[in-house]
Structure 1
Amino acid sequence: MRAGYTLSGRYRIIRALGEGGMANVYLAHDLILDRDVSVKLLRLDLRDDPNTMRRFQREALAATELVHDNIVQVYDVGEENGMQYLVMEYVKGTDLKAYIKAHFPIPYREVIQIMEQILSAVRLAHEHNIIHRDLKPQNILIDQNRVAKITDFGIAVTLSEHSLTQTNTVLGSVHYLSPEQARGGMATKQSDIYSLGIILYEMLTGTVPFEGETAVSIALKHFQSDVPAVRDTDPRIPQALENVVFKATAKRPQNRYASVADMAADLRTSLSPKRAGEERFTPEADDDGETKVLPLSSLGHLSDATAHAQTTPEPAAAAKASEQSTEETAPKARLSYKQRHPRRRKFMLMGLIILMLLIGAGLGVALFQPRMTNVPNVVGQRQAKAQSTLVATHLKVGEIHKTASAKVKRHRVVRTEPRSGTELQRNSVIDLWISTGPKRYRLGDYQGDSYSSVAAKLEALGFTVHRESVHSTSVPAGRIIQQSVSAGHKVIPKDTAITLTVSTGTQTVTLSDLTDKTKSQAQDYAASHNLNLAFTYAYSSDVAKGKVMRQSPGEGAVVQEGDEITLTMSRGPESDSSETDQFSVKVKIPFDSSATSGSDTEDDDSSSSAASENLVQIYLRDQDHQLSSVYKQMTITNDTTVSLPFTVAHGKSGAYKIVRNGEVIGEDSHVTKN
């Protein structure tokens, strides 16, 4: 969609704001209500895709049902020439992802204020039985007054739309995906609460809890691994505030907050001194009938009880034995016992064997059970010290990885894998990630690019961007003419300020009356209004020699900056024309495309910034001109041929000199009529 196009006769496109997988977003102006709006236009290559069309229409339906200060408002829905579009509120600011990068660490009170706005918006959606399903910082906009607004309901559904929430379909961004969605289950309100917990985690720590090389590996961590403690990153975070993260991101939905309102209420008091001694939140045990393993202590008690039962005689047998006191009756009694209880003796023997086996198994488990240890927290330590700490904890150091980090100093540990606090067998291998310092970014050549898109991209990376506006006759308005840091430089974004010189386009000039002005006066006027001058000469009895007789265009004409004005200069009263020669010489001025902006580059392989125009001055010497003054000044953007007029005394010669960008590129000191 080009700039200047008017959609449905009402929304004039100004510039592109961003591109997505489903639609492109443009800044436009509502000509009827005289306000800026955002226009989301379905991509042309997807307009025949029924699934995409359904998502696009669902976003319009979901958003129009929700009117809230913290939800981007949808103003209009329409179609033009087969193009589906949404007209939405224009939020001037940035998204929460970029805001976290630019302002981290964010004060806890500000984190809570932003989260309360987000929770308020989600609460309204849930009250309408609308589940967002794709809550993430990229879908939350922060305006200049730090007001949060949720957008992109493209995959939101109502609880009754089962056909749109397939069991085996995973939607949403994997870093913020709930465990039940990662398994392919149906999204619920608790799924949105889980995503909100991950967003809160990122606002407190500056990073997401789970990283991986693939989306699948990250999804697995969401339902296999516990969310790391935020207090490991920042011990100053109150336990009550960390508990909000833990409860919102519990693996089982029933262990999370029952509603967004409950989460908001808990978050609101998390900084209260009354909750200073709060214990760490632990979800309820998962008592779902799974097979349990008895501890060794229970096995020992069972063995003692069994042995006691098997070695203690019954009271009747003991009484009977006490009555038999003579040697004659004892053998008979024993014989009769064997004869009467042969199976009991056999069972006792088998029980004793089983008991011995159980005791042996218990001793084997106790003796050969692997010895365990916990991974220590070595983040921020130098590599050598971290390795010593791991060895002292009976762990082995595995691979050493290098990674850029804006938070951790060079040569210090950024993270470990497995992470700190993980219980492992002794002599397990731990991989280390060592910081190489902040990531350097190689600047591109932005000349000719749109300022708005380049500035937004650089600011999202952490650059400080300044704008300088100048008029230009060769560069369209809104395009970059020059950059203060040359293309190819590798810089640290957060430590770098870059100034972009931006064209405001050409301005119109209403010509003044230049008649009766001297040549130098006319040249001063042209220079102050960015106009080019061309001179012709004629005899005049009415106008003094060296003054302007007439001009073209005339007084009051409206011209653009850079246009050429022709002035006819007086030679004074006419003399014998046979004494002078009048002729013209054509000279070709080549355009120099290799001229650069003049900034040094850091790397040999960095590209230069080529000039978009050349400044040319032409000097003449004849009856009417001197080489010491400029005959004509102009800017060229390609090879240009000019015609130079000469008036010289008969038999005499003229001269000219061409200067391009301050360098003489052509001259002739003996120009005569052929």
Structure 2
Amino acid sequence: MKTGYILNGRYKIKNTLGEGGMANVYLAYDLILKREVAVKLLRLDLRDDPGAVRRFKREAISLTELAHPNIVSIYDVGEENGMQYLVMEYVQGMDLKSYIAKNFPFKYERIISIMEQILSAVGEAHAHDIIHRDLKPQNILINVNGQVKITDFGIALVTSEYSLTQTNTLMGSVHYLSPEQARGSAITKQSDIYSLGIILFEMLTGRVPYQGETAVSIALKHFQNEMPSVRDFDEHIPQALENVVLHATAKGLTDRYASVNEMANDLSTALSLVRSSEKKWLPERNNDEETKILTPLREKDLKSNRKVPEDNADNTKKEKKTKWSRKKKWLIFGISFLIFILLSTATAVGLMLPKNVEIPDLRGMTEVEAKSTLKDLKLKVGSVKHRYSSKYYYGQIVASQPREGTNVRQNSKVALVLSEGQEKFKFGDYKGQSYTTVKNKLEAKGVTVLKEKTYSNTAAKGEILGQSISKKRKVIWDDTTVTFTVSSGAKEMILRDLTGYTKKSAQDYADELGLTLKVRNESASSSTDSSGLTVSQYPTAGTVVQSGQTLEITLAEETQTSSSSSSSQDSSSSSKLNSFNVSVAIPYDGSAQESGSDENKTNKIEIYLQDKDHQFDDVYETLTIAKDTNVTLPFVLNNGSSGKYKIVRDGNVIAERDNITHSGN
């Protein structure tokens, strides 16, 4: 949806907040209530999919039933031109996934505070028999005040719908999937509790417990593999806090927390001293002894010894035959035994010799998981190196040497490369630089750049005056937002008419506008009413000026006429004339020339001049120019008096000057 589009005649689209598999979310402005909102719009390619439309409408129904400070509020729902949309509360901040990446590791108290808000919101949903089914950090928002807001109930179900909606399709994000969801079994409120346990695991370790190349391999681990210990990642994590993770992520529903309230109560005391020596929580085991199968004894045929009448010849033959038969049996037994020993020895030697094994794919595992996997294959961990990675979290394996799929002998060593997380760079100091240049440079690195304008009498327009991030702080470019304070230049103001102002009043006005006041005195007769007041100014009234410019005023000064001789001298002095010329440059303006015209547009110039012989209201001279032109203006003034001129180009005043005297022309 394009920026500026007005949905339903009310919601004006400003920009895109995010794109998902089922819907896109936009920031919009409510033209009626004058507030920002989030608009969730079903993707156009799904508007003819009954299942997608049903899930989209289900989210609206779920949210309208829920009113909780930690659940995103819904304001409106509707359809326009076949487009299904929801209008929701706009949460200014970031999702929990980004919050973990930016702030990990953070204090256990903060983790518990976030989890308690999440549990409170999920408890409210469960109280209305609504199961979220897709709890993950990306669906948990944290606003600028640190308040948690859960969103995206797109695949939530009420418990009464189970029998109608159960399929073998995996719904929800596989990293946070409960074992029963992975098996396609019936989903209960405890399925949400399992996901909450995985979220708590991620906040404590900075990663999810199970990694894999495919969604299926990860799903299998949820109901086949034991939950990794968070204390293997950080031994300082209290055992009681790890027990909450283990209890929430138990494979069996009978071992798992029965409700989110039970989990919240257990979590609230996890850091208390009373539980400091708590043992590791283990699920209940079946202690019944294994049934032993006894092999039945075989009966032996007992033969009775009978006495036979002695017959010497026959007895001798029989005796010899019996002896030979016995020797033959012993010979066969001896040979067989020897062959058995040789074969056993060969087999034992063969078993003891190292075999060839294939190195598994260790990427995404922790060092502990990799050691266990390699140990099962009778391989050893060799050297461990570290490098930055934008794909794998801190502590995950980036690569192995030899690499996966390579055949090696058992007992061989495998070198590991562990992720240091994304590389951080020193932000730097951009004060005094051009905002446009810095913005282009940082945006090319992935930084979000914002601007705040302010007036400045000392900095040029567009110059950076301040930045919201310290120059020494190390940041990940893609996850960074900076706000620059940028100069708008000096503030422009329109001068008022200062005629009749006293010197003090003019000074106060100049100080208010940040102007530098320059005062000139002009003689006046003792009978004048303007003595000590401003009689003229430069620049003239109505002129646009900026802070720091000079404002020049002329004050009338009274002259005493105490004797006829001095009056005669003044009269003689005032009758003395001063003649001089003032050169003025008139710039040509060709901006209004018609496109494609070969002839230059001409400017009409009108010159107004005031001296002893000319009145200011009359046009002194009219010119037509087609280029920059210099003119010379002749002035004839009585001693002590001043003149002025004004240049008008095509009806617009382009130059004006008062207080022109022979000494300061």
| TM-score bracket for the superposition, by shorter chain length | 0.5 to 0.7
What pairs with 1:75-154 in structure 2 (closer than 5 Å)? Answer: 75-154=75-154
Against the structure 1 CA distance between its residues 221 and 502, is the aligned structure 2 distance closer, same or farther, given a 3 Å change threshold?
Answer: farther
Q: Deviations over 1:644-674 (max 9, x none)?
A: 999xxxxxxxxxxxxxxxxxxxxxxxxxxxx
User: What secondary structure is seen at the aligned counterpart in 2 of 1:160?
Assistant: helix
Against the structure 1 CA distance between its residues 51 and 426, is the aligned structure 2 distance closer, same or farther, given a 3 Å change threshold?
Answer: same
Q: 1:497 & 1:620 partners in 2: Cα distance?
A: 53
Is 2:119–2:261's contact at 8 Å kept on the other side of the alignment?
yes
Q: 2:546 & 2:139 partners in 1: Cα distance?
A: 50
Deviates more, 1:212-221 or 1:258-267: 212-221
Matching of residue 468 in structure 1 with residue 452 in structure 2 = yes
- CA offset at residue 583 of structure 1? 3.0
Unaligned stretches of 5+ residues in structure 1: 329-352, 419-424, 460-464, 472-479, 486-490, 531-544, 547-565, 588-618, 625-630, 633-642, 647-674
The match for 1:571 is 609
Amino acid corresponding to residue 31 of structure 1 in structure 2: I
Against the structure 1 CA distance between its residues 128 and 367, is the aligned structure 2 distance closer, same or farther, given a 3 Å change threshold?
Answer: farther
Is 1:438–1:492's contact at 8 Å kept on the other side of the alignment?
no
Is 1:448–1:481's contact at 8 Å kept on the other side of the alignment?
no
Amino acid corresponding to residue 147 of structure 1 in structure 2: Q
Matching of residue 404 in structure 1 with residue 404 in structure 2 = no
The match for 1:601 is none
- CA offset at residue 238 of structure 1? 1.3
Q: 1:41 & 1:380 partners in 2: Cα distance?
A: 39
- CA offset at residue 136 of structure 1? 0.8
Amino acid corresponding to residue 41 of structure 1 in structure 2: L
Amino acid corresponding to residue 570 of structure 1 in structure 2: Y
Matching of residue 25 in structure 1 with residue 26 in structure 2 = yes
TM-score (norm 1): 0.55
What pairs with 1:439-478 in structure 2 (closer than 5 Å)? Answer: 439=423, 458=447, 467-469=451-453
Is 1:586–1:644's contact at 8 Å kept on the other side of the alignment?
no
The match for 1:525 is 544
Against the structure 1 CA distance between its residues 224 and 191, is the aligned structure 2 distance closer, same or farther, given a 3 Å change threshold?
Answer: same
Q: Deviations over 1:576-609 (max 9, x none)?
A: x99978232369xxxxxxxxxxxxxxxxxxxxxx
Is 1:18–1:26's contact at 8 Å kept on the other side of the alignment?
no
What pairs with 1:271-282 in structure 2 (closer than 5 Å)? Answer: 271-282=271-282
The match for 2:38 is 38
The match for 1:341 is none
User: What secondary structure is seen at the aligned counterpart in 2 of 1:571?
Assistant: strand
Matching of residue 432 in structure 1 with residue 416 in structure 2 = yes
Against the structure 1 CA distance between its residues 51 and 466, is the aligned structure 2 distance closer, same or farther, given a 3 Å change threshold?
Answer: same
Deviates more, 1:520-529 or 1:49-58: 520-529
Is 1:181–1:187's contact at 8 Å kept on the other side of the alignment?
yes
Q: 1:103 & 1:494 partners in 2: Cα distance?
A: 12
The match for 1:493 is 475
Q: Deviations over 1:292-313 (max 9, x none)?
A: 8x9xxx89xx7xx98xx77x99
- CA offset at residue 71 of structure 1? 1.0
Matching of residue 584 in structure 1 with residue 568 in structure 2 = no
Against the structure 1 CA distance between its residues 35 and 498, is the aligned structure 2 distance closer, same or farther, given a 3 Å change threshold?
Answer: closer
User: What secondary structure is seen at the aligned counterpart in 1 of 2:623?
Assistant: strand
Is 2:493–2:544's contact at 8 Å kept on the other side of the alignment?
no
User: What secondary structure is seen at the aligned counterpart in 1 of 2:175?
Assistant: helix
Is 2:466–2:486's contact at 8 Å kept on the other side of the alignment?
no
The match for 1:462 is none
Q: 2:422 & 2:415 partners in 1: Cα distance?
A: 21
Is 2:465–2:487's contact at 8 Å kept on the other side of the alignment?
no
Matching of residue 395 in structure 1 with residue 388 in structure 2 = no
Unaligned stretches of 5+ residues in structure 2: 311-335, 355-359, 402-408, 428-433, 456-461, 468-472, 500-534, 550-580, 583-603, 635-645, 656-665
Amino acid corresponding to residue 623 of structure 2 in structure 1: Q
What pairs with 1:525-604 in structure 2 (closer than 5 Å)? Answer: 525-527=544-546, 570-572=608-610, 573=614, 582-585=623-626
User: What secondary structure is seen at the aligned counterpart in 2 of 1:161?
Assistant: helix
Amino acid corresponding to residue 246 of structure 1 in structure 2: L
Question: How many residues get paired?
Answer: 486
Against the structure 1 CA distance between its residues 427 and 162, is the aligned structure 2 distance closer, same or farther, given a 3 Å change threshold?
Answer: same
Q: Deviations over 1:24-45 (max 9, x none)?
A: 222424634x554333233445
- CA offset at residue 59 of structure 1? 0.7
Q: 1:82 & 1:450 partners in 2: Cα distance?
A: 40
Q: 1:156 & 1:370 partners in 2: Cα distance?
A: 56
Q: 1:524 & 1:123 partners in 2: Cα distance?
A: 67
- CA offset at residue 102 of structure 1? 2.8
Q: 1:567 & 1:501 partners in 2: Cα distance?
A: 43
Against the structure 1 CA distance between its residues 645 and 282, is the aligned structure 2 distance closer, same or farther, given a 3 Å change threshold?
Answer: closer
Q: Deviations over 1:118-171 (max 9, x none)?
A: 112112222322221111111111223322121110111223334774523222
Against the structure 1 CA distance between its residues 413 and 9, is the aligned structure 2 distance closer, same or farther, given a 3 Å change threshold?
Answer: closer
Is 2:495–2:545's contact at 8 Å kept on the other side of the alignment?
no
Q: 2:127 & 2:619 partners in 1: Cα distance?
A: 99
Q: 1:279 & 1:522 partners in 2: Cα distance?
A: 85
User: What secondary structure is seen at the aligned counterpart in 1 of 2:76?
Assistant: strand
Against the structure 1 CA distance between its residues 439 and 187, is the aligned structure 2 distance closer, same or farther, given a 3 Å change threshold?
Answer: farther
- CA offset at residue 222 of structure 1? 2.9
Q: 2:166 & 2:625 partners in 1: Cα distance?
A: 81
Q: 1:466 & 1:578 partners in 2: Cα distance?
A: 52
Is 1:78–1:85's contact at 8 Å kept on the other side of the alignment?
yes
Amino acid corresponding to residue 609 of structure 2 in structure 1: R
**What percent identity do the matched residue pairs reach?**
46
Q: Deviations over 1:174-230 (max 9, x none)?
A: 222223333444533222112111100011112222234444443343334333211
- CA offset at residue 512 of structure 1? 6.2
Is 1:446–1:483's contact at 8 Å kept on the other side of the alignment?
no
Q: 1:247 & 1:512 partners in 2: Cα distance?
A: 77
Amino acid corresponding to residue 23 of structure 1 in structure 2: N
Is 2:27–2:36's contact at 8 Å kept on the other side of the alignment?
no
Amino acid corresponding to residue 380 of structure 2 in structure 1: L
TM-score (norm 2): 0.55
Against the structure 1 CA distance between its residues 622 and 288, is the aligned structure 2 distance closer, same or farther, given a 3 Å change threshold?
Answer: farther
Amino acid corresponding to residue 218 of structure 1 in structure 2: I
Is 1:12–1:31's contact at 8 Å kept on the other side of the alignment?
no
Q: 1:446 & 1:155 partners in 2: Cα distance?
A: 45
Q: 1:111 & 1:127 partners in 2: Cα distance?
A: 24
The match for 1:257 is 257
- CA offset at residue 527 of structure 1? 4.3
What pairs with 1:117-516 in structure 2 (closer than 5 Å)? Answer: 117-162=117-162, 165-285=165-285, 395=380, 397=382, 402-404=387-389, 427=411, 430=414, 432-435=416-419, 438-439=422-423, 458=447, 467-469=451-453, 493=475, 498-500=482-484
Amino acid corresponding to residue 582 of structure 1 in structure 2: L
Against the structure 1 CA distance between its residues 523 and 408, is the aligned structure 2 distance closer, same or farther, given a 3 Å change threshold?
Answer: farther
What pairs with 1:600-639 in structure 2 (closer than 5 Å)? Answer: none
- CA offset at residue 402 of structure 1? 4.5
Q: Deviations over 1:236-273 (max 9, x none)?
A: 11112112112222334443222222222222222233
The match for 2:643 is none
Q: 2:463 & 2:225 partners in 1: Cα distance?
A: 51
Amino acid corresponding to residue 93 of structure 2 in structure 1: G
Is 1:14–1:29's contact at 8 Å kept on the other side of the alignment?
no
Q: 2:158 & 2:437 partners in 1: Cα distance?
A: 46
Against the structure 1 CA distance between its residues 217 and 571, is the aligned structure 2 distance closer, same or farther, given a 3 Å change threshold?
Answer: farther
Against the structure 1 CA distance between its residues 368 and 622, is the aligned structure 2 distance closer, same or farther, given a 3 Å change threshold?
Answer: farther
